[in-house]
Amino acid sequence: MRTSGILTIGGAFVVILGSAFALLMLRAFFVDKGQGFVDLSGLVVGGVVAAVGLGLVAAGRKRARMEHEHDELHFSEMALALAKRTAARCRWSRW
């Protein structure tokens, strides 16, 4: 698996975990009246984790575009070199 796929899938997993934790803390902050600061800080931490996950997803998608462009460039260079090599061999062979 390429790095872009790992970043994208891992980032999506982190987003899901961070969002679930933020929603849990949001419910605790509004429903359970008790430790407001602890619930609020947990809500902030969940939001930060979700934001980091979104950043990982964005970085993975950007890297996927770069890898795709590099593969296309490398493929065309390789195909051109192979065509030149094959044409030279066909020109000088007696078959």
Q: What is the pLDDT of residues 10-22, one digit of tens each?
A: 999 999 999 999 9
CA atoms within 13 A on the CB side of 76: 5
Residue 92 has pLDDT above 70, yes or no: no
Three-state SS annotation for 39-77: HHHHHHHHHHHHHHHHHHHHHHHHHHHHHHHHHHHHHHH
**pLDDT at site 54:** 94
**Residue 89's pLDDT band (cuts 50, 70, 90):** low
DSSP state of 95: -
**pLDDT at site 88:** 57
Q: What average pLDDT does the segment 80-87 reach? A: 76
Q: How many domains does the chain have?
A: 1
Residue 78 has pLDDT above 90, yes or no: no
Q: What is the pLDDT of residues 20-64, one digit of tens each?
A: 999 988 888 888 776 778 888 888 999 999 999 999 999 999 988
- Give the integer Cα–Cα distance in Å for 28 and 75: 54
Alpha carbon 31 to its chain centroid, in Å, reads: 35
Domain that holds residue 62: 3-92
